A = this chain, B = another copy of it.
Amino acid sequence: MSQRVSRTDTSALVLPKKKEVTCRLDTENRQSTVHVIGTYLKASLKRSSPPRSKFFSVKCTANVQYSISPPTPGEPLSPIPLNGNSVLLISMSRASESENDSKLSVQYYGENKEVLGRAVLHLTAVEISLDVDADRDGVVEKNNVNKGSWKWGPNGHGAILLVNCDSEQKYRNKKPDWEHDFVTKVSDLKDMSVMVLRTRGPAKLPEGYKLTMHISQGHAESVRVFRSRSPGAKENTLLDKFLYTNFVKNYPLMLSRDVLSQEVPYLGGVAETTFHVEGLRFPDNDFNGLVNINLSLLEPIAHDIPETPIFTDTVVFRVAPWIMTPNTLQPVEVFVCNTADNNPFLKGMRNLVAKSGYKLKICQEYVNRGDRWMQDELEFGYIDSPHQQFPVVLDSPRDGKLQDFPYDELLGPDFGYVTRVAEREDVSSLDSFGNLEVSPPVTVNGKKYPLGRIIIGVAFPTATKGRNMTKVVQDFLWAQKVQEPIALFSDWLYVGHVDEFMTFVPAPNRKGFRLLLASPDAGYKLFRGLQSDGHGKAKMFDGQGGEETITVDEIIDDENLQAQNNYVQSCIDWNRDVLKRELGLDEEDIIDLPILFKLMTEGEEKEDGVLRAVAYYPDMVNMIVLGKNLGIPKPFGPKVNGRCALEAEICSLMEGLGLSCTFIDDFATYHKLLGEVHCGSNVRREPFDFKWWNLEM
């Protein structure tokens, strides 16, 4: 069988379980070997036959089976003609009670059937199995035939490993557990995968034979193995007893980057040794997520000469991907910042979250230092396995003044942390995680995405220059595989985030959600409707202290603004076409929200002279979605009969879906700083019920 070596670890020697092991027969010296149940020993009959041998015969003890290939007819036990390519296939069906308790001998004869020599092979049979939870039920079964390969899907197989990226410590010296090369607490063991070595055989192995566990250099970057001391380990002294309370001693490090190979004690009789396997890094551009661990039986040759492996058992783990949670999943906690100036916003959010019944976590000013963009600094996700599951925060390379929040405030017991470090000069506004979203589950031309698809914004490919999400983050997202990303064009926006023109809300029908898109055309349609209904003199921004008002007529008459919005609509339409195709959406799955933009070249962007878009009034699509409650930037639109026409339109569109709209005043302290409600908040959600390993890939 062809055995593929992972491209990311080509240093690995091909090491499939050996079904056939060449062994030596020798008429000069007594030979002995250890046979592993389930394999065959294969011996060339000719290779070690004495000179002038013409016939041979074979004898063996009861526990030994043999066959001759090619088959030779003839009486059992009577001399058989020796053929140049005759091979003896030897196997045994149960483990030995004692060393060398079985035997096979070959007698060679000359032309006249005179005995020329006799080769004797002493045999010790053992059962050896390195076991993992290859059937993903949380239990380490015995010798699963599929334990050495990994297959996606409900009929798939292969064990799962978590990156041990939470911290059992909450405060002192806190760092992700994988950064320690010892077991910090017993509770840390549940973040690891159990692996069991099961053996059966005589009390000890014949002299010089040993078991060794080993990994390749490449895989050692991604995995660490600890051993559980066997319950029967002796505690000789009081000091020993004391030391056993020390986890380092109770769970000695078995394999790591520095120890690629280590002997494992053979315990004798029927025995089990438990190991705990810890993932050290997430799948990435240079790591496909698969890790092999090998257990070999080594045969001694002679003093001072290295042993050779005669049997290798291999198990494979896949490191669980980091998974994002779309707006359609149940919220758990809502995060916002308290800044000196954002009281109206905070009040609105407090009411909304309380009404919805979720937890509100407020990041205080001494932590956020005035950085209010809670959406942009981090993305909540989780990791999942049959034995353990916990949330993991992805920390953005953006690194505003909120940069310490994810590590200092979120990392902890059963709350993981991961980040990707980029060069300062490679980081742009597109690396903020307002530019990283995920769709609800979709099916696209028959292909299922039960965990949805990640959505990011990048530069337009036809542009001669442009900003992009940094490569290290993009590589990380693509490498997780289970929420295959879609790249949209967001560089046309001044801030450049996809959440400025799109979001998803739950819906009771169709695909279970709607895609909401900002739409200048819908905006103009609404304003023209107001005009033709005689509300042309109604004012925007009325009552919003300090902001100059503008009438519906003035907006419609501004030809420059119309041209700019035609451009914005064409950019959004381009993304709309991509989203329809990549998410398999129909027109009926999309709702256009009436939002106008304007173009600007201010600030640092001035030099490249490129005009980019910002919302003309609070960007209602940039909302927070909490179950059926939406927190929407209050648009301060023109009033008709005392009611904001923009709010009325949104409410009418959302109410049809059973959603309730709460408008939150973010004008002065978010909108004017080029962000809105979504940019200023974040939501941790429940994980999917769907298990990622059941994906069909």
- A residues adjacent to B (C-beta < 8 A): 1-5, 7-8, 10-16, 18-24, 44, 47-52, 85, 87, 212, 214, 216-217, 260-261, 285-286, 294, 296, 298-299, 301-302, 304-309, 444-445, 447, 458-464, 468, 471, 474-475, 477-479, 484-487, 489, 492, 519, 521-522, 525, 528-529, 532-533, 563-564, 566-567, 569-571, 573-574, 576-578, 580-582, 587-588, 592, 599, 610-611
Contact = CB atoms under 8 A, between A and B. Distances in A.
Contacts of A306: 460, 463, 492, 567, 610-611
Nearest to A260: B464
A7 B478 contact: yes
A563 B10 contact: no
Contacts of A307: 462
8 contacts: A10-B285, A10-B474, A13-B461, A14-B486, A305-B564, A306-B567, A307-B462, A308-B460
Given A474-B11, A521-B24, A587-B44, A51 B529 contact: yes
A563 B214 contact: no
Nearest to A295: B462
Nearest to A18: B577
Contact of A309 (B8, B50, B462, B475): B462
A364 to B, nearest CB: 37
A461 B216 contact: yes
Nearest to A217: B468
Contacts of A15: 461
Nearest to A453: B2
A563 B563 CA distance: 89
A309 B492 CA distance: 13
Contact of A447 (B2, B22, B459): B2
A567 B304 CA distance: 11
A298 B462 contact: yes
* Tally of this chain's copies: 2
Contact of A2 (B85, B445, B528): B445
A217 to B, nearest CB: 8
A478 to B, nearest CB: 5
Contacts of A479: 7
Contacts of A570: 24, 299, 301, 308
Contacts of A11: 458, 468, 471, 474
B14 A578 contact: yes
Contacts of A48: 521, 525
Nearest to A51: B529
Contacts of A525: 47-49, 51
A461 B215 CA distance: 7
A13 B489 contact: yes
B301 A563 contact: yes
A111 B21 CA distance: 88
Most-contacted residue by chain B among A216, A447, A528, A564 (CB, 10 A): A528
B484 A302 contact: no
A10 B475 contact: yes
Contacts of A87: 587
A52 B298 CA distance: 86
Contacts of A447: 2
Contact of A51 (B445, B459, B532): B532
A494 to B, nearest CB: 13
Given A5-B478, A525-B48, A532-B52, A214 B582 contact: no
Given A10-B475, A461-B214, A461-B294, A22 B573 contact: yes
A564 B302 contact: yes
Nearest to A296: B462
B44 A563 contact: no
Contact of A10 (B301, B471, B522): B471
A599 B305 contact: yes
Nearest to A25: B521
B487 A5 contact: yes
Nearest to A524: B48
B261 A50 contact: no
A59 to B, nearest CB: 22
A606 to B, nearest CB: 13
Given A306-B463, A462-B214, A474-B11, A521 B576 contact: no
A567 B486 CA distance: 56
Contacts of A304: 611
Contacts of A2: 444-445, 447, 484, 582
A671 B540 CA distance: 93
Contacts of A485: 5, 10
Contacts of A484: 2, 4
Contacts of A522: 47
